[in-house]
């Protein structure tokens, strides 16, 4: 027992003294929002996070005016203030949509862990009418590889690109279940025909 105690103590001291290199002192998550590909210069960004609590889904949005800002040349950096106990420290969907006036021109979606501080690369993919025919800002990943990041189809894909009410951040759960088996209409969500 005595040897075990001293062993733990020694290991702790050695581990504490071993790290000498510079480390970034992150206390929260930073989003580096950028564009990939040819995109009409966006005039604003809308970032949204959504998670679930016992009281239902909660959504927070941030509207960013990009007047005079060129995010194609350098990423726009957003510091997230995620206080302890925030529901967004659990499973969260993050969506960022870039608009030129009111038309979505690029988007990004992911399911990040906002509880782990650090940099997060938010590289938005161009949206076209082919990718987002209902112009709700969410791409139909079946429309082509250029519409989505390959992983986006898993959790933030627009399974009905003809109906803007159906999208991954809809507050009605029936409207964001992109598995092709439910429909959004109230009271008729059994199957999609």
Partner 1 sequence: MRTLPTQHDPNGHERARARLAPRWVWLGAALAIASAPFSATAAPPTTARELAAAAANKARAAEFDDAIELYEAAFAQDPSPVLLLNIAVILDRQGRVFDAIQAYERHLSFESDPVGRLSSTERLAAVRVGAPGRVVVTGAPPGAEVFIDDVRVGRVPKATADLPAGDHSLRISHSGYVTFSSTIVVSPGVKQTVEAALAPVQVAAPADVPEPVPLAETENDDDSRTLWIWIGVGTAITVGTALALGLVYGLDDGGSNTVAPRPADRTWSLGGELR
- Nearer to partner 1 by C-beta: 81 or 101? 81
CA distances from 124 to 39, 147, 177 (A): 10, 10, 23
- Find the binder of partner 1 among 70, 116, 130, 165 (CB under 8 A): 116
φ, ψ for residue 12 (rounded to 5)? Answer: -65, -45
DSSP string, 106-118: EEEEE---TTS-E
Q: Does 18 bind partner 1 (CB under 8 A)?
A: no
Cα–Cα–Cα angle for 27, 31, 37, rounded to 5 degrees: 160
- Find the binder of partner 1 among 100, 133, 135, 192 (CB under 8 A): 192
Q: Does 140 bind partner 1 (CB under 8 A)?
A: no
- Find the binder of partner 1 among 37, 165, 180, 185 (CB under 8 A): 180
Site track 39-78 with partner 1 (rule: CB under 8 A), x = hit = --------x-x--x-x-xxxxx-x-x----x------xxx
Q: What is the Cα–Cα distance from 183 to 19, expressed in whole angstroms? A: 54
Q: Does 174 bind partner 1 (CB under 8 A)?
A: yes
């Amino acid at each position: 027992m005595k040897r075990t105690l001293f062993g733990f103590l020694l290991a702790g001291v050695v581990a504490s003294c071993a790290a000498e290199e510079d480390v970034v002192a992150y206390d929260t998550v930073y989003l580096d929002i950028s564009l990939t590909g040819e995109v009409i210069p966006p005039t604003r960004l809308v970032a949204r996070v959504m998670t679930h609590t016992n009281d239902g889904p909660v959504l927070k949005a941030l509207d960013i005016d990009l007047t005079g800002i060129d995010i194609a040349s350098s990423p726009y950096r957003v510091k997230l203030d995620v206080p302890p106990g925030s529901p967004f420290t659990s499973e969260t969907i993050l969506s960022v949509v870039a608009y030129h006036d009111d038309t979505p021109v690029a988007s990004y979606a992911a399911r990040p862990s906002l509880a782990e501080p650090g940099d997060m690369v938010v590289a938005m993919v161009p949206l076209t009418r082919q990718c987002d025919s209902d112009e709700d800002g969410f791409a139909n990943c079946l429309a082509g590889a250029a519409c989505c990041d390959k992983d986006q189809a898993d959790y933030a894909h627009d399974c009905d690109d003809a109906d803007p009410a159906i999208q991954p951040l809809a507050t009605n759960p029936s409207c964001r279940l992109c598995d092709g088996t439910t429909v959004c209409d109230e009271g008729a969500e059994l199957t999609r025909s």
